[in-house]
Amino acid sequence: MELICEAPAKINLYLAIKGKRPDGFHDLETRMVKITLADRLHLALRDSGITVQCPGSDLPIGDGNLVHRAAKSFFAAQGTGGGVHIVLEKKVPIAAGLGGGSSDAAAVLRGLNTLHGLPFSSGQLRELARPLGADVPFFVAECIAAWATGIGDEIHAEADSPSGWIVLVNPGFPVSTKWVYENFTLTTDTNAYILGRDFVHGNDACAGPGNLPLYNELEAVTIGKYPELGRVKDELLADGAHGALMSGSGPTVFGLFENEAQAQKSVARFAHRFPRNVFLARPLSTQAKR
């Protein structure tokens, strides 16, 4: 039996760090939306063993790949043996703040669940997803948009998602999420070194959908090291975006456009500078309704 799965990327419309946990992770509050930029996975059941291919990518193919670990977790939880051959076609940039690896892992969990006749409920799949990564439960969930709390694994689904067009600009280099969080200084009343809350680069106070602020507290860290990302935000706004923000820990920056022609023009202009790393997308639900 074989199945082809889409693994959508996400953008963070809001991301605030609430505190640091005893286990070293950070509690956060974030609003995430799945978008039409997506990886594609081909799953083919085998009698035993897990094999992974990533054509055109230097990603590991063993346990160092999150899709391999997701399949291993699924079969361990099922307890009946089995195997799968996975071909992962990467479209979402790696280590880009778009959740590509987490989405791939979620697609494997959901795909294997389908191929095996749905032995696990949605809630059980989310529990399988938690140890794999903070964003994996969001991608396992049926929702298109959600607020997430905890380390990002407590999902509160939203009925609506924003409309319009999304221009994504990736500078072509990866950024370590671990490095960004390690270099983030929590804002406190006694801390003179204020990060994030006074650093909303280039956005109006209510630039986001539904008059919610576009906000990312991690921007100060990543843009502090890579100031070109701040210039990309300014250029997206100059191109007609009604808001621009870095997604996750970066380095991908996105602009929200209401006008398709302006979005297309912005993509064409950035493509000269960042070949193969500029994308035009829509919120996933918008595409589904067309």
d(CA 192, CA 167): 35
For residue 78, what are the contacts with CB-CB under 8 A and spacing of at least 6?
A: 116, 119, 120
d(CA 45, CA 257): 42
For residue 204, what are the contacts with CB-CB under 8 A and spacing of at least 6?
A: 243
Residue 7: exposed, middle, or buried by beta-carbon count in 10 A (0-12, 13-18, 19+)? buried
Residues annotated catalytic, as ranges: 10, 135
For tokens 């997430």, name the residue.
148
For tokens 């202009």, name the residue.
269
d(CA 170, CA 191): 32
> Looking at residue 197, what is its pLDDT?
38
Pairing label, strands 215-216, 2-20: parallel
Is 279 strand, coil or helix? strand
The partner residues of 167 in beta bridges, in order of sequence, read 255, 280
> Looking at residue 134, what is its pLDDT?
87
Say whether domain 165-289 belongs to CATH 1.10.357.10. no
Of 183, 179, 141, the C-alpha closest to 158 is 141
Buried b (16+ CB within 10 A) or exposed e, 132-141: bbbbbbbbbb
**pLDDT tens for each residue of 255-290:** 999 999 999 999 999 999 998 899 999 999 744 443
189 or 232, greater pLDDT = 232
Other CB atoms within 10 Å distance of the CB of residue 271: 14
d(CA 233, CA 168): 10
Most confident of the ranges 80-84, 171-175, 231-235: 231-235
213 or 5, greater pLDDT = 5
Q: Report whether pLDDT(74) > 90.
A: yes
28 close to 152: Cβ distance less than 8 angstroms: yes
25 or 48, greater pLDDT = 48
> Looking at residue 145, what is its pLDDT?
93
Pairing label, strands 165-169, 278-281: antiparallel
**CATH top class, domain 2-158:** alpha beta
Q: pTM here?
A: 0.88
Q: Does residue 272 come out as left (phi exceeding 0), alpha (psi in the -120 to 50 range) or beta?
A: alpha
**pLDDT tens for each residue of 147-156:** 999 877 789 9
Structure tokens belonging to residue 140: 């396992």
Q: Report, as an integer, the average pLDDT of 214-229.
A: 92
The partner residues of 84 in beta bridges, in order of sequence, read 45, 50
d(CA 12, CA 34): 9
Residues of the chain with CATH 3.30.70.890: 165-289
Q: Would you place residue 7 in the very low, low, confident or very high pLDDT band (cuts 50, 70, 90)? A: very high
Cα end-to-end span (Å), the chain: 30
Is 149 strand, coil or helix? strand
Q: Report, as an integer, the average pLDDT of 121-143.
A: 94
> Looking at residue 91, what is its pLDDT?
96
Torsion of CA 259, 261, 266, 268, to 10 degrees: 160
Average pLDDT, the chain: 87
Structure tokens belonging to residue 8: 């959508």
Residues of the chain with CATH 3.30.230.10: 2-158
